[in-house]
Structure 1
């Protein structure tokens, strides 16, 4: 699923931007919902989902520690 979403943790990616995290969240929500661009009546729910997935992803990445001593990072 979502093959276009890249891995956002070290050692795969060292410099992750907020835009990277949001783009991954958008791809995920598009895949799950089946909408590339939701209709007006679904737009608020779609954007809220992207915001929530973005926040969850940032929290996850900040909490991960990679074997080899890499400390958790702050998004």
Structure 2
């Protein structure tokens, strides 16, 4: 669906920022709404959707239980 959204969890991304979550949310809302730039009448709803999806994304990433990554041996 949203091929430009990157995976936001290790090992795909090491340091996820709130900007990363917002960018993914923005891409999602654009795709779902079919609008790259909403009209003034839709701007508030569009921005609220982006904010809510970004917040839920942060909550999801914080609650995921991921397998332990192997520790590299010191050489």
TM-score clears 0.5: yes
Distance in 1, matches of 2:47 and 2:64, equals: 26
Kindly tell me the number of residue pairs found equivalent between the two proteins: 69
Structure with bigger RCO (C-alpha 8 Å, 6+ apart): 2
Corresponding position of 2:16: 16
Distance in 2, matches of 1:11 and 1:65, equals: 13
1:44-63 to structure 2, matched below 5 A, reads 44-63=44-63
Gaps of 5+ in 2: 70-75
1:1-75 to structure 2, matched below 5 A, reads 1-68=1-68
| Cα root mean square deviation, aligned | 0.9
Corresponding position of 1:73: none
TM, length-normalised to structure 2: 0.88
Q: CA deviation at 1:67?
A: 1.5
Gaps of 5+ in 1: 70-75
Corresponding position of 2:72: none
Q: CA deviation at 1:68?
A: 2.2
